[in-house]
Amino acid sequence: MASLPPSPFDRDRRNRRTMLAAAGVGFAMLGLGFASVPLYRIFCERTGFGGTTQRAEAATGVPVATGHSMSIRFDSNIAPGMPWAFHPERPTQTVTVGAKSMAIFIAKNLSDKPVTGTAAFNVTPTQAGAYFTKIQCFCFTEQTLQPGQEVRMPVLYYVDPKILDDPDNKDTQQITLSYTFYPVEQGKKAS
Check pLDDT > 50 for residue 58. no
In the beta sheet, which residues pair with residue 88? 105
Instruction: Tell me the average pLDDT across 41-60.
Output: 51
Domain 50-183: CATH superfamily is Ctag/Cox11 (2.60.370.10)
Provide the pLDDT confidence category of residue 49 given band limits of 50, 70 and 90. Answer: low
Check pLDDT > 70 for residue 149. yes
Does the bond joining 114 to the residue before it have cis omega, within 30 degrees of 0?
no
What is the phi/psi pair of residue 67, to 5°?
90, -15
pLDDT digits (tens, 9 = 90+) for 159-178: 999 999 999 998 999 999 99
Q: Are 75 and 51 spatial neighbours (Cβ–Cβ below 8 Å)?
A: no
pTM over 0.85? The answer is no
Q: Domain extents for the chain?
A: 1-47, 50-183
Contacts of 83 (CB under 8 A, 6+ apart): 109, 110, 111, 115
| Separation CA 177–CA 172 (nearest Å) | 14
Around 57, how many Cα atoms within 13 Å sit in the side-chain half-sphere? 2
pLDDT digits (tens, 9 = 90+) for 6-37: 677 777 888 888 888 888 887 777 776 766 65
Provide the pLDDT confidence category of residue 110 given band limits of 50, 70 and 90. Answer: very high
In the beta sheet, which residues pair with residue 106? 87, 152
Nearest to 175 by CA among 133, 139, 141: 133
| Separation CA 95–CA 65 (nearest Å) | 10
Q: What is the 3-state secondary structure (H, E, C) of 82-150?
A: CCEEEEECCCEEEEECCCCEEEEEEEEECCCCCEEEEEEEEEECHHHHHHEEEEEEHHHCCEEECCCCE
Contacts of 157 (CB under 8 A, 6+ apart): 53, 100, 101, 102, 103, 132, 133, 134, 135, 137, 177
pLDDT digits (tens, 9 = 90+) for 121-137: 999 999 999 999 999 99
Per-residue model confidence (pLDDT) at position 35: 65
The DSSP result for 176-187, as a single string, is: EEEEEEEE--TT
| Whole-number average pLDDT of the chain | 83
